[in-house]
Amino acid sequence: MDALGEFVRVYQTTIGVIGINALLALSVWITLYAGQLTLGNAAFMAIGAYGAALLGMRLGVPFPLGLVLGAGLSATLALPLGLAVFRLRGVYLAIATIGFGEVVRVLLLTLPFTGKALGLNGIPPLTELWHIYLSLVVVAYVLWRVQGSTVGRAWAAIREDEIAAASQGIAIRRYKLAAFVAGAALAAWAGGLSAHLNFSIEPGDFGFTRAVQILVYAVVGGTPSVAGPILGATLLTALPEILRPLREYRDIFAGLILMGVIIYLPRGLVTLAELRKTRRLQEIGAADVA
Amino acid sequence: MGTPYELKAFTVMVVGGMGSLPGAVLGAYILGIGEIAALVFLPAELAELRDAFAFGLLFLVLVIRPRGLLGHRAVERA
């Protein structure tokens, strides 16, 4: 127990970041599960982070309430955005959400109360590790339960074939919107937690790179199950630490591992035990179907 | 590393209409002139908003005319 306590103390920051990245990966997993590729989650994370930090620092709003308000604000913004962008699909949807992300980032650089390019500093470090991991457990459990519910099956049906789903009487637009708004709220929640973990935030933290990173966590981990994004986020966040002995070569190895996973496990790390099924799916040309 | 340009090229393509060469040229003109116009006519403290202009435009086009300005309507089959 002592050794574990020591380990947690030494790697506190990394462990916290892993949990937050897992939450973010789950936020993008929700829309991926419904078959929609959206890249706006970094922006929603920014809204949650700035929302929680500004409310806490400027208005003295208590930390838990700040988190809830940040997530609420993000969900409120996601609703009209979703109404507009879900006329699009595939790569167009991805681009439109990237566009939204860039607008948010530029606004954070320009608005008078966001600290512009310097960002916000001196955010009180209120996030404890158990906040992050309690959120993660609750979210993972809820999403796991949702998979088997009416909503989860509707999302899966939309992912497999939109037209077939619509002809079965599934209200496609509504279910897509629900996935989008839920993902936005979760990303903002994670953003709020990260702001109070990291002491400072700046607009550059929430750009295009971040959006892609979140997507990579989910895809490398695997989208067929809730465990996938958590596993992906954990491994990819811990990898630079694990590879530390390799010094300057570690980015190369991290890149190689990433490529290996994508080539040999196209359905994600969680499908390691189902290699034969993946092969079979590849043979019939359906490996991209979760 | 070139990401802003990559994103802008993408934007131009979508605004003009994917698969349309004249569309790409038109999109590039609109985006380029619009961005500089934003820089010239907006007050100096809002100059940084020029990047938001590109993506705001992209957003508008996608919402009003998802196939882009000169793009063709894609036929969807079940």
B29 has pLDDT over 80: yes
Rounded to a whole number of angstroms, the distance from the CA of A171 to the nearest CA of chain B is 17
Mean pLDDT taken over chain A: 86
B2 is a domain residue: no
- For residue range A57-110, what is the model confidence (pLDDT) as tens digits? 888 888 889 899 999 999 999 999 998 888 787 778 888 888 888 888 888 888
B75 is a domain residue: no
Residue from the list B48, B66, B78 with its beta carbon closest to the beta carbon of A92? B66
**Residue of A7, A14, A26 lying closest to A135 (CA atoms):** A26
Q: Which domain holds residue B43?
A: 21-66
* Domain count of the fold of chain B: 1
Query: Which residue of chain B has the CA closest to A163?
Result: B78
B58 is a domain residue: yes
Residue range A185-205: mean pLDDT, rounded: 90
Rounded to a whole number of angstroms, the distance from the CA of A288 to the nearest CA of chain B is 18
* B76 in contact with chain A, both atoms CB, cutoff 8 A: yes
Q: Cβ separation of A106 and B78 shorter than 8 Å? A: no
Rounded to a whole number of angstroms, the distance from the CA of B44 to the nearest CA of chain A is 11
B60 is a domain residue: yes
Any idea which residue has 């590879």 for tokens?
A: A243
Residue with the bigger pLDDT between A129 and A77: it is A77
Per-residue buried b or exposed e for A196-235, using 16+ beta carbons within 10 Å of the residue's own CB: bbbeebbbebbbbebbebbbbbbbbbbbbbbebbbbbbbb
ipTM metric = 0.73
Residue with the bigger pLDDT between A209 and B76: it is A209
Instruction: Give the single-character DSSP code of A69.
Output: H
